């Protein structure tokens, strides 16, 4: 068997982190005897363990727990695998209510395993390292609340997060990345740069875009629209609400209602805020009789949808309740599928490149055990996705059986400046909605046929994408994307008129500029412009007025360059 170093490293880290979680649980239960255990899995970047306790853990507690863990690691205790019957496992955990709940759901004839080190024993399927001494480097990071099994009707638990690595060097690199991520946190920068805000008075997960944030979003949307018009898409606008019968036909009220806001009674009819744009695009398709000559039909929209996300998962712009999706639906014939998928991937590459991003990985999700659509449809659609990626020389993972019940898909993941991966673009076949809405077109033989329908997003949601961009750039947007591109800083009142004339000339060149004419010291204005991460500062004093020049200071530089207006235009319009 060919060794895969990356997979081997992932497996090693999983073992180390799982083992460290057990060591943490061991120490916590000895330090706090009244604490009850929940679960403690490894994660992509570390591990956590959930505890049922009446008293929240403090920062001081975390330091003591970490100190105790180091002692357990130094003792080099062996991790021993044990096997029990269901009744034996129940006896072993008779004082652990959450463990008893887990055991009660395991089939009666199934053996149950635990791992033990020293006197601590925990329900676990593994894997683990050989002994506690094989945990080279770890760090406890934070504490947060978490509902048991993610259900807000269950107990609120205390979750301790940590991370562990195969060496102290790798741990330090990771901790450095965490510190850098804190500096780039889009929630902090969003406030500092005056881009957006979220208010309890309005509602959790509902974003108010400030003027600078609105300008940023508008730049992105204008670019998106142009790229789509150039790529043969027709863009539409659709309502924010729809009658209940629309969502009944689409299946959303049957399969997605828990993620929808409650209905509104209007004239005896229930209306719902839309959780997705798809049914409205289908209504447009059905607004006229379609022929094979009309296909492929590419319909796009930057449409705001509303989903009831639980309060515990809301996070700035990246997890909201009002999100604006860059949706598109492609209606096509069977022989057009591969060309359309290729076209979507071309557009994805082109758009992401414009934001200094690029696809980092691809995942093909195939048919699950329960699915709509016949075998032939699934095979044709899945093979078209597979062939397209292979023809482009793309390596991809397969999530066998991981597709949605209504069709196979490709997920495109991007990597930001910190090396973090984000799921961004999706190309998703849908066999469900064409069937539910009885979509059809007239084929070249005059017979009615059912079109293939491809749902795709490039950026995902505008809110989440902008949150990713803020952190990717650390708030220092490139010139073309910066909400304010230039600030003019006159040193004294007598320089205001020259600054105003310069501002007018730059505005006529479609440059986003303002003149800071406040009665404040020049150094303060420069400092504030740097905090706002404005790309260029133009300093205007006596020398610049007399010589009709401009002193240009770049965002990340402490020196000034003197140039005339034409030279400035050449600099900023590169």
> Within 13 A of 407's CA, how many CA atoms are on the CB side?
23
Let me know if the fold of 5-166 is the same as that of 486-572.
no
Would you tell me which CATH number, out of the four given (3.40.50.800, 3.40.1260.20, 3.40.50.150, 3.40.640.10), belongs to the domain 486-572? 3.40.50.800
Q: For the range 539-543, what are the long-range contacts, defined as Cβ-Cβ under 8 Å and sequence gap of 24 or more?
A: 539/489, 539/491, 540/488, 540/489, 540/490, 540/491, 540/495, 540/498, 540/499, 540/502, 541/490, 541/491, 541/492, 541/495, 542/491, 542/495
Q: Which of 228, 290, 409, 553 is catalytic?
A: 409
Between the CA of residue 27 and those of 58, 61, 65, 81, 349, what are the distances in Å? 15, 11, 6, 19, 49
Where exactly are the structural domains of the chain?
5-166, 191-238+277-473, 486-572
d(CA 415, CA 73): 35
Q: Which of 329, 464, 495, 512 is catalytic?
A: 329
| Predicted TM-score of the model (pTM) | 0.85
> Within 13 A of 241's CA, how many CA atoms are on the CB side?
13
Check residue 4 and give its pLDDT. 63
pLDDT tens, position by position, 150-181 = 877 889 999 999 999 999 999 999 999 999 99
State the fold for domain 191-238+277-473. BirA Bifunctional Protein; domain 2 (3.30.930)
For the chain, the residue count is 574
DSSP conformational letter for 145: E
d(CA 110, CA 123): 14
Q: Which of 159, 290, 455, 525 is catalytic?
A: 455
- β-pair type (421-429, 409-415): antiparallel
Whether 99 is catalytic is: no
Which residue numbers in the chain have pLDDT < 50? 1-2
Whether 327 is catalytic is: yes
Q: Which of 325, 377, 428, 485 is catalytic?
A: 325
> Within 13 A of 426's CA, how many CA atoms are on the CB side?
20
Whether 325 is catalytic is: yes
Q: Which of 50, 327, 411, 516 is catalytic?
A: 327
Check residue 370 and give its pLDDT. 82
CATH class as words, domain 5-166? alpha beta
Strand partners, 449: 441
Q: Which of 13, 159, 307, 512 is catalytic?
A: 307
Check residue 124 and give its pLDDT. 93
Check residue 1 and give its pLDDT. 39
């Amino acid at each position: 068997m060919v060794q895969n170093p990356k997979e081997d490293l992932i497996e090693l880290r999983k073992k180390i982190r799982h083992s460290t979680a057990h060591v943490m649980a061991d120490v916590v239960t000895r330090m706090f005897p009244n604490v009850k255990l929940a679960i403690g899995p490894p994660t992509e970047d570390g591990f956590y363990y959930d505890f049922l306790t009446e008293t929240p853990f403090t920062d001081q507690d975390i330091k003591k727990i970490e100190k105790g863990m180091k002692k357990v690691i130094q003792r080099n205790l062996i991790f021993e695998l044990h096997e029990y019957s269901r009744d034996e496992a129940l006896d072993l955990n008779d004082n652990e209510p959450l463990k008893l709940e887990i055991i009660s759901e395991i089939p009666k004839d199934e053996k149950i395993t635990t791992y033990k080190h020293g006197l601590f024993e925990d329900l676990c399927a593994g894997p683990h390292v050989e002994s506690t001494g094989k945990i080279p480097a770890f760090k406890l990071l934070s504490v947060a609340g978490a509902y048991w099994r993610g259900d807000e009707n269950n107990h609120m638990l205390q979750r301790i997060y940590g991370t562990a690595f195969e060496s102290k060097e790798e741990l330090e690199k990771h901790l450095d990345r965490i510190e850098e991520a804190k500096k780039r946190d889009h929630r902090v920068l969003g406030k500092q740069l005056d881009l957006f805000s979220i208010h309890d008075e309005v509602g959790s997960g509902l974003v108010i875009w400030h003027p600078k944030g609105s300008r940023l979003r508008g730049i992105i949307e204008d670019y998106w629209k142009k790229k789509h018009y150039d790529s043969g898409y027709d863009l539409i606008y659709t309502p924010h609400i729809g009658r209940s019968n629309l969502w009944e036909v689409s299946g959303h009220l049957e399969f997605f209602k828990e993620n929808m806001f409650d209905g509104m009674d209007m004239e005896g009819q229930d209306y719902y805020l839309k959780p997705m744009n798809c049914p409205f695009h289908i209504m447009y398709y059905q607004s006229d009789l379609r022929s094979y000559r009309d296909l492929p039909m590419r319909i796009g929209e930057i449409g705001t949808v509303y989903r009831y996300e639980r309060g515990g998962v809301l996070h700035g712009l990246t997890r909201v309740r009002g999100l604006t999706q860059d949706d598109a639906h492609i209606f096509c014939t069977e022989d057009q599928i591969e060309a359309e998928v290729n076209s979507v991937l071309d557009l994805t590459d082109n758009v992401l490149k414009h934001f200094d991003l690029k696809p980092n990985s691809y995942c093909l999700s195939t048919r699950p055990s329960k699915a709509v659509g016949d075998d032939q449809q699934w095979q044709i659609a899945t093979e078209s996705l597979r062939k397209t990626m292979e023809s482009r020389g793309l390596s991809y993972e397969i999530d066998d059986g991981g597709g949605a019940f209504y069709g196979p898909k490709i997920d495109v993941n991007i990597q930001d400046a910190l090396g973090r991966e984000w799921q961004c673009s999706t190309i998703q076949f849908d066999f469900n909605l064409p069937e539910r809405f009885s979509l059809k077109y007239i084929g070249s033989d005059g017979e009615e046929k059912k079109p293939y329908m491809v749902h795709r997003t490039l950026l995902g949601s505008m809110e989440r994408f902008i949150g990713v961009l803020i952190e990717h750039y650390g708030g220092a947007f490139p010139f073309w994307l910066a909400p304010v591109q230039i600030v003019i800083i006159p040193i004294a009142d007598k320089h205001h008129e020259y600054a105003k004339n310069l501002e007018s000339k730059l505005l006529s060149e479609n440059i986003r500029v303002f003149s800071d004419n406040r009665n404040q010291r020049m150094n303060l204005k420069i400092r504030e412009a740097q905090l706002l991460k404005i790309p260029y500062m133009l300093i205007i004093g006596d020398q610049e007025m007399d010589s009709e020049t401009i002193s240009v200071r770049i965002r990340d530089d402490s020196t000034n360059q003197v140039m005339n207006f034409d030279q400035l235009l050449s600099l900023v319009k590169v």
